[in-house]
Structure 1
Amino acid sequence: MTTTHLVAAPTDTVGATPVGSLVDNRELLEAAAAGVVARRLAEVAELEVAIEWVVRHGHPLPVEGGRRDPMVSPGGEGTPAVREYALPELAMARGEHTLRTRAMVADVLDLQHRLPLTWAKVRAGACDAWVGRRVAVLTRRLALEHIRVVDRAVAAAITGHAPSTVFEITAAKVMQADPETHAMERERERHRRYVTLSRADENGFRCVIARTTAGDAAWIDAMVDRVADILAAQHGHDHNRDELRSLAFGWLARPADLLKLLLDHTEPTQTSEHPVWAPAHLVQTVDRLASMSTRQLACLRGRGVVFVHLTDTSLLQQAGIARVEAQGPMLVQALSELLGHADVTMKPVLDHRIRRRVDAYEHPESLKDHVWTSTGGDVFPYAPRTATRASVDFDHARPFTPTDTGGPPGQTGPHNSGPLRRRHHRWKTHGGYRVRQAGPGRHLWQTPHGLCYLVDPTGTHRLDHHAADLILNAPPGCDIYVGPSVVLSR
C-alpha cells in the first residue's frame, strides 16, 4: 500500500490553493485509509511496549528487611504476572493514572496469551485496537479451556463487521462456550446493585446512576411520572417533560415534602374500606407522621455531607466561584440549588501562612484541613482529583522518626505531608519511589528508574534530571522553583 504525502501551498500567498485541490479525490481517500492503518499500527506499538515491560518485570526482585515484592495478575487465566510496583512507573511514562495503564496491560496480555487469532488481526492493523481490547474484557472471566472457541469466532468477524456486531458475537460465544459459568455469573450479578453519582458537568448537573431490580425501577419510574404530572399543572408552560421528570426525581429526596405534595393532589376516595393491598401498619404510620415535628420530618431524608470552599468576598457579594469537593467548580449563585434548605456548618478560615507543626506521628484534624486545602487532593503523579478528604492517608514525605529514638521535633506539618490514596501510599513506601516536598503543595517524585515528576497546583509535569537533582538534593528547608524550560513534554 502506498502513502500519499500532501504538501500545502505557501500560506503567505493571497488566494493560495487549498491543500485538497493538490490531489484528486481518489488519492485523498487513499490517504485517509492509509492514515487509519498508520494510527492502528501506532497503537499496536504502544501495546507491544507494554508487553515488553511485563516481560522485563515478570519476576519479583530480591528485597531486604523481610519485605516482599508483590506480583499481580491483571489479565485472565493463563496470562503472566507482573510486579505491582512496576505498573505505576509505566503509567507515569505514559502520562496517565496507573489504573488506566493496568487495564491496558490486562487487555494486551489477554490478547497475546488467550486470544492469539484476534491479536494477529489487531497487530496487522486490520481493526481498531480498542475493539480487540473490548473483546478481551468481555472474555476475561472465561476459563482458558473454553477461550479458543471465542477467539476463532471473533477473529473471523472482527474485520468485516461493525464493533457492536463483534461484541454481540463475543457475548454469544462466551455463553455457548461455558453456559454453567454464565449462569453462575448471572446469579452473582443479582447482588451487584448500587446507586452512585457521576461527576458534575460544567453546568453543575450530575447523573444519578442506579442498578436495581426491574420491579423497583418500574415503581420509581411510576412515582417520578406521578410527581411530574402534579408539577406540570404548576410549571408545565416553562418546562418540557424530561425537565419535569428531573424535578420530580429531586422530590424523592424529601419524603415529608413529597408526602404532602401527593396528599394535596390526591382525591379522597368515597369508601372507608381498607384496601386489600395496603399494609396493616399503614394507619399507624400515617398517625406517626402526623405527630412528628417539622424538624423531625426534615430528618427523614437523612444527612448528606458536602464540602464547599469559597472566599469571604464571594460569600458576601454572592458572586464568584466556589469549589465543591467531588464535584468541581460552581457559581456561588448556584449554591442554593446544591444546599437547598439544609442546615449548613461553617468551618473557620485557614491561614496558610501559619506553618503549624506537631511532634506526634498522627495528624490533628486541623492540620489535615491545612494540608488538604493547600494540595487540593492526592499528590501522586497523574492522580485524578476525585479523592475526598476522608479517603486518603496523610503521609510524611520524609519518613517519620519518633523523637524518643532520635527524631527531630516538629516532623508532622504542612512542610512534610501530602494526601495519598492507600494504594499510592503503599507504592511510595515499598515500591522504590522517592518523593520530596518542595514547597507548599509541591511534591517531586522519582521513579525506580530515575524518571522525575513534579506535582503542583498546575498538575503533573516531567522534569529533566538536572532540575530534578537540584530539588531532590537541596538542603533541608530550601525550596527550589524551576522554569518551564526544564519541563519535558510527554
Structure 2
Amino acid sequence: MPSRTPRLLRDSDALRAAMAARAAAEQAERDVFIAAADWAIAHVAGTGDVAGYVIDTGMMLPLAGPGAPEVQEHAVTEFITALGMTQQAGSFYVGHALEACVRLPRVWSRLVKGELTVWQVRRITEDTIPLSAEAADLVDARIAAYAHQVSRTQISNICRVAQEHADPGDAVLRKAREAEHRCFEVWMGQAGFDGTIDISGRLDQPDAADLERAIAALAEQLKKAGSEETLNVRRAKAAGMLARGEQALPLETGGGSEGAAASATQPRSRHLTLYVHLSVDAVTGALGDVARSEASRSPLGIDVIKAWCQTVGTSVTVRPILDLAAERYSDAYEVPELMREQIILRDHTCVFPYCRRPARSCDADHIDPWESGGSTSSSNLAPLCRKHHRHKTHDGWRYKPAGPDQPGVYLWQSPNGVRFRRDRHGTTLLDPPQPDGG
C-alpha cells in the first residue's frame, strides 16, 4: 500500500495540475538560461581580463563560437557556483546560453517566447559552437522553424552541410569539439562501501571493439580456470587484469609454448595505499571497522580490505591516520610535508564550493594571506585548485574556517555576497532565495 494518501482530486484536475507544474518548471529553466546569457553579456572580458573557457582534458575551448564575446572568467565562476554547478558543466551551460543568444537569434527568439525548451536549444548549440559565424547563421535560418521536433542526427547533418557551404576548408575547430565527446572516466571519489567504483566512457568504435574482445577473452579464461562467478563479475575482474597488463592468465604448466606465453605476460603488481582508522594488526583480524583507500577517499568495509590484501601480487601500504584536529605550526611560508598531508586527509578535495578536484593535486592556500600576517598552521591552510586559488587571490572570493571545533568546514562568500558552507560532504547554499524572490 502507498504510504502517502493522495489529494482528493478528479482525474482531470490531477492531470491539469501536473501539466501546469511541468509548464512552470520549463519556464523556470528558460528564465535561468536567459539569465545566464544576460550575465555573460553584462560581464564581457575587456583588455587585460582573463576570459572564461571550457576546460576539458587539457584543451581550453571558448565558451561560444566565433563572433560571440569573451566573458570574464571570474564572472562565469560566480554565476555557475551560485547555481550549484561544477566548473566544467557550468561553463558549458553559460557557453550554450551565450551561443544561442548571440549567434542563433531565430532559435533564441522561439525560446524567449516559450516555444522551445532549454534542452531543445542546447542540443543545437552543442553542434553550432565550432562553426564560423556564417555557418552558424545558416543553421539558425534552416533549423529555427522546426527546432522543437528536429532530431540530433538532423542537427548534425544540417551543421555539416552549413559548414561545407560556408567553410569548405576549415574544419579544425569542429574536429577538436568532436574529439571532446570521447572520454573515459573512473569515478575514484565515489566508491561504494563494498569497494566498487563506477566507470563510464565513450570510445571510437575500433577502440571499443578491441576493449570488448580483450575483456570477453579474459572473462572466458576465468571461467575455464574454474571461476564460478557470474559473467558480469568476471568481466569486471577482467578489466582490472587488463589494467595490470595481464593479457592471459598464468598457467600451472611450466614448459612448452603455453608456459612461455604465460611467462611472456608480466603483469604490473597492484599497489594499494590505505589510511586505516584502526591498528595495523586489525587489518588481518576479525574486527568490524572501516578503512579508507587513498585512491577513492571513501569508507570501505574491513572485509573488503582484507580480501584485497590477500590477493596474490598486491602490495599494501598501511598508513595510520594523522590527528586531523591537531594544530600544527611552522615559522616558514613553505608548508611542511606533514602539515600538507594533514590538510589533504582532512579536506579530501579543493574546498571551493562544488569543486571535486583531489586535494593532493591542489595548492596549500594560506586562508589569511602570509603577507598580511597569516600563519602557516593547520587551521589557516586549505587545499585550493589552481583556478579557484586564483579566484580567491584576485577576484574577490573570501572564505574562513567555520570554527576551531569544526575542522574541515569552511564558510565562503562570493564577490556579490552569495554565501556557501563547504565541508567534506559537499556544498550547502546559505540563505537561499525565497520563492517570492525576497
TM-score (norm 2): 0.79
1:40 and 2:31 matched = no
In structure 2, distance between residues paired with 1:369 and 1:310? 15
SS in 2 for 1:121: helix
**Equivalent residue for 1:358, pick from 321, 330, 348:** 330
Taking a change above 3 Å as real, the CA distance of residues 88 and 453 of structure 1, as seen in their structure-2 partners, is same
Paired letter, 2:242:
L
Cα deviation, 1:19-66, whole Å, max 9, x if unaligned, reads 35x3353x54444333332221111111222233223322549xxxxx
1:411 and 2:381 matched = no
Give the CA deviation at 1:227. Answer: 2.6
Taking a change above 3 Å as real, the CA distance of residues 435 and 35 of structure 1, as seen in their structure-2 partners, is closer
In structure 1, distance between residues paired with 2:126 and 2:201? 22
1:241 and 2:226 matched = no
Partner in structure 2 of residue 71 of structure 1: 51
Cα deviation, 1:93-148, whole Å, max 9, x if unaligned, reads 32333433322211111111112222233233334312211221122101110112
Partner in structure 2 of residue 102 of structure 1: 91
Paired letter, 2:99:
D
Write out aligned runs for 1:337-348 (5 A).
340-341=311-312, 342-348=314-320
In structure 2, distance between residues paired with 1:23 and 1:77? 53
In structure 2, distance between residues paired with 1:32 and 1:287? 64
In structure 2, distance between residues paired with 1:33 and 1:247? 47
Taking a change above 3 Å as real, the CA distance of residues 242 and 458 of structure 1, as seen in their structure-2 partners, is closer
Paired letter, 1:456:
D
**Equivalent residue for 1:130, pick from 113, 119, 134:** 119
**Equivalent residue for 1:171, pick from 142, 148, 156:** 156
Taking a change above 3 Å as real, the CA distance of residues 53 and 217 of structure 1, as seen in their structure-2 partners, is closer
Tell me whether 29-38 or 40-49 shows the greater mean CA deviation: 29-38
CA contact (8 A) 2:191 2:197 kept: yes
Taking a change above 3 Å as real, the CA distance of residues 419 and 183 of structure 1, as seen in their structure-2 partners, is closer
Tell me whether 48-57 or 330-339 shows the greater mean CA deviation: 330-339
**More strand, by proportion:** 2
In structure 2, distance between residues paired with 1:156 and 1:397? 53
**Equivalent residue for 1:54, pick from 22, 33, 40:** 40
**Equivalent residue for 2:10, pick from 23, 27, 47:** 23
In structure 2, distance between residues paired with 1:71 and 1:454? 27
In structure 1, distance between residues paired with 2:114 and 2:381? 47
Paired letter, 2:94:
V
Partner in structure 2 of residue 322 of structure 1: 291
Paired letter, 1:166:
S
Larger radius of gyration: 1
In structure 2, distance between residues paired with 1:214 and 1:458? 38
Partner in structure 1 of residue 57 of structure 2: none
Give the CA deviation at 1:415. Answer: 1.8
In structure 2, distance between residues paired with 1:186 and 1:18? 52
Partner in structure 2 of residue 221 of structure 1: 212
In structure 2, distance between residues paired with 1:461 and 1:187? 36
Paired letter, 1:198:
W
Taking a change above 3 Å as real, the CA distance of residues 488 and 265 of structure 1, as seen in their structure-2 partners, is farther
In structure 1, distance between residues paired with 2:180 and 2:91? 26
**Equivalent residue for 2:411, pick from 444, 447, 450:** 444
Cα deviation, 1:142-171, whole Å, max 9, x if unaligned, reads 111011232234323332x3xxx5211111
In structure 1, distance between residues paired with 2:303 and 2:143? 53
Paired letter, 1:83:
Q
Give the CA deviation at 1:347. Answer: 2.5
Give the CA deviation at 1:332. Answer: 2.1
Give the CA deviation at 1:196. Answer: 4.1
In structure 2, distance between residues paired with 1:375 and 1:150? 47
Paired letter, 1:241:
L
1:89 and 2:55 matched = no
In structure 1, distance between residues paired with 2:41 and 2:239? 52
Paired letter, 1:177:
A
Taking a change above 3 Å as real, the CA distance of residues 192 and 442 of structure 1, as seen in their structure-2 partners, is closer
In structure 1, distance between residues paired with 2:320 and 2:418? 40
SS in 1 for 2:400: strand
CA contact (8 A) 1:157 1:166 kept: no
SS in 2 for 1:50: helix
**Equivalent residue for 1:332, pick from 302, 305, 313:** 302
Write out aligned runs for 1:292-311 (5 A).
300-301=267-268, 306-311=272-277
1:373 and 2:345 matched = yes
Paired letter, 1:251:
M
CA contact (8 A) 2:344 2:360 kept: no
Partner in structure 1 of residue 358 of structure 2: 388
1:460 and 2:432 matched = no
Give the CA deviation at 1:190. Answer: 7.3
TM-score (norm 1): 0.71
Give the CA deviation at 1:338. Answer: 5.1
Give the CA deviation at 1:443. Answer: 2.5
Partner in structure 2 of residue 312 of structure 1: 278
CA contact (8 A) 1:461 1:488 kept: no
Give the CA deviation at 1:423. Answer: 0.3
In structure 2, distance between residues paired with 1:114 and 1:267? 68
Give the aligned CA root-mean-square deviation in angstroms.
3.8
Cα deviation, 1:357-412, whole Å, max 9, x if unaligned, reads 1122221211111112222321112223xx223310000001113xxxxx76x821
SS in 2 for 1:105: helix
Cα deviation, 1:418-460, whole Å, max 9, x if unaligned, reads 1001100000011012223343323232222233333234543
Paired letter, 1:324:
S
Paired letter, 1:93:
A
Taking a change above 3 Å as real, the CA distance of residues 101 and 349 of structure 1, as seen in their structure-2 partners, is closer
CA contact (8 A) 1:462 1:488 kept: no
Q: How many aligned residue pairs are there? A: 408
Partner in structure 2 of residue 349 of structure 1: 321
